[in-house]
Structure formats: C-alpha cells, structure tokens
Structure 1
C-alpha cells in the first residue's frame, strides 16, 4: 500500500479507542495482538479473522505488504495505544484485534507412515507439562518454528490462553506452529506413541543425555515447568528420560532455552 493510500485508510481520532489494558484477551471471542512481527504475521495468516487495527503513522508504514482497502484501521498516537495492551508492552505502534485461531487437534499434526514415505511431516512434537508463563510458551513457539517442529501440545487447564503476550514472545510463530490444546496430556502422549513417536522427557536427574536417547525416527519432546519439572504421571508416559549436558555450575536452564537446545539436537542428529 502506498503511503497516501495508507494514510487514507486511517480513520478515527486518538483518545476514542475502546477496550482497556490487559494481557491481550480483548473480550469474549477476541484476542488483541501487538508488535510488528506478531501483527504482521497475523495479517498475513489467511486463517485469521481480523476485527480492527489501531496504529500510529510510523507503525502502519512499517508493515510489509498491503492492507485491503476496506480494512478497519484507526489512527492513534503511541500513548493511546499503550492503553490497549499490557503495561509497558512494546507495541511498536501496532495493535490488532482479531478472533482466536481455530482449534487444532492432535490427529491433524501427527505424521503417518504414509506422510513420511511421501516426504511430509516428521518434525518433532513439543509437549509442555504445566508450562504456564506466556513468555516461555511464546519463546518455545518461536524456537519450534525455527527448527521445524510439527506442533506444540499443552494441557488446556495448565497453559496460558492465546494472547498478545504469547504472540509478542513468539515473534510471529503463533501464526505458523500448530498449538494443540488437550484435556488429558497423558492420553495425548499415548496417542503419540500409538502413532510411532518416541517420547523423550527432559529431566535434569536422568543418567542418559539427550543425544544418546534420540532415535532416528519421529520424536516427541516432553518438558515440564521450571522448578517442579514434569509430573510423575507424565514422566511415566515417556519412553525415555534424558538430560541436557549442562555444567554442574548451573542447576537448570529456563524451559524455553532447554526447548531450543533440544530442538537443535533433533534437527542436527546423525541419521
């Protein structure tokens, strides 16, 4: 969109925006995203239903690509946009209100033998056990997109909702990586095993390193929350427990860092 067209697309006045500050849940059935990468990825995602874009002049000029002529856009200054997002959130002059993504089911992301024979699928699945910090979930999603993970799986009751905080931390990956929410995480692990995935739980007390535990085939990596780690029942649904070979000077890694290292290990394993 040319600069003149972008300017004509802006309407409304600063100070007349609706909606209060929050984590990015804009109300029933809607979610609010902010920051250039998160907003731009959402705008390019054909699976997204968009409601409205609030933007500064600089923010809309920073977008890559054109907006439809009838796209609902309202111009505001940076101070007013700050009232629409979480406190001190770096919105970069862009706030997008949209409908949450459609539910994704485990069957949709599990790679079958036929898929593998035809060169489709096969990326690792990340299973998160009670990882509730939205910044961590978003960062894990970003690494999952970078290393070609098939999906992340969380238990619906013990994971953050889709939100602007998750999307900002994911830096666009929320629109790329399927996010499967399940009622029963143990059952999801059983389904992964039935589909031929080798389930490896990351645990600092394990004797085996991740490199030693990795098979040649499909892998599901299971990570627990910081501090508590995996629950006993979830660890019991893993085929193997493995650790990252970190220095004894550090007790553990942040779960998002551990996920990134584990994904790299899967991506670079020797066939």
Structure 2
C-alpha cells in the first residue's frame, strides 16, 4: 500500500513527519493529526500551499487535499474554538475563583498538563466568540455550559471533544488541586432515557462515602437524573479502601470487615466488592484520599 510522506509544522517547533495513504480521506487526515497532537487536532487549523483545510466539511476538504503531495509541509495554526459561557468560574493561582469573562491578560490561573499535573499558567491572549448554541454537561454534582468543541481530559494524556463523548464516558475533574475521581457505576433502566440499559458513571469526588446511606442522593443518571441502582465503584489518582459491617446470611451474627489501602494511578480501577448486595452489607464505607 503506497503512502504520501509529509510533515506537520507548528510554529517554530521541529516538524513532525507523517504518512498518509495515497487515497486518504478526511478521517484519515484527522487520525494522523490526532496522533501528532495528542488527540487535540480540533484545536488547530491546517494550511497547505496557502489554503486552509475545512475539517468540518468533507466536500470542501476533498477539493483541496490534492495540494498534499510527498514532501509537502502542512503548517499548523493553533486556535481555540472551544468556549465556556461568560459566567463560568475558573481558579486563580491563589485558589480564588473568578468568572471567565473577568479574566485579564497576565492573570495567573490554574491549569493541568496532559500528564494530569496541576500547573500555573499566564493568560497570554483572550478569545471571545458568539455562538448559536451551547451544551449543558452534568459531571457528578457539577454542571457546565460549554460549546460542543470544548475538550475534556479523559486520562492517559488524552483529551476528547465534548461532541464525541458519550453518557457513560469517564472524564477527570479537579479536586483538591489534583485530577481525581471516585465514581459509582450503574445502569440506567429508564426506557425514555438516551442512556437506557447503558452503564452510566457518576463522579462523587475524593471523600469517605457511605454507600448504603448516601447513594440515593448521588446515584442519579447523568442523562435523565433518575435514580439508578449502583453496581460497583471505580477510582483513579487516589488511594482507597473499603470497610463495613457484613452479614453473611440472615440469622448469622454480623462482623466488621475491611480492605487494605490500594493505590489507583492515572487509570480507572474498579472495586472487586459487590457493592450492590444491600442484603449482605449492613454498612459499607468507601474511603478515598489524595495520593
């Protein structure tokens, strides 16, 4: 199978060599760009021989893709179409919060790298866009209002465009200056819900969580907000253990049981305990703390 050898050039960085199939499609181009730019190609424009490619219109893209031949340099221009709504709060370096519309050039804000490290960053430019629509996103107890191009951190150095996320996907939230997550996994049985009979995930943060007494408040389908029966729990970027009061069967004296502390890194670890067995667990506490 023949291919076209080309290179992508971003600002004054070292060009990155990439190969495209001779009969490449728009999806092929996006896939190569995502491999180079860590699944964030949507944050860039691509220009070849003075022509900017339209990655949202396959017909327009196909008109000009003939400009890409072996040895061609594709210039990458960084831009941001993704937007928060003006009242969205962002964190300053001193942990105070301000509306994103009040951010000024030179302000120092908290951000994070693709490795999940929390860092400070200086505002070097401001972008304002008028949009015809925005999307409402429920992440645990937090609700965000953003445009569909907004990227969310999904772990392992990757970001995902909001419009490509699904209801049951796991994203990371900033808790105690770390990207951490303790989640409840459930299955929505509301036949009128878009997530009907699909696994859904609810973020509960880093805390001691009384599974039997608190899940009724937290275990709500993020799509339709109806109660969903918990199946299990999962953890990342924290240390965690469980403890509780277990009754093996009716009429048998209950006993205190607990698990050892376990380390969950930048991945998605499920608890092996059957947390849905309410007839057996008289008390079940999930303990999680920052690593």
Structures share fold, TM-score greater than 0.5: no
Which of the two has greater strand per residue? Answer: 2
TM-score by length of 1: 0.29
Which of the two has greater helix per residue? Answer: 1
**Bigger relative contact order, structure 1 or 2 (CA pairs below 8 A, ≥6 apart):** 1
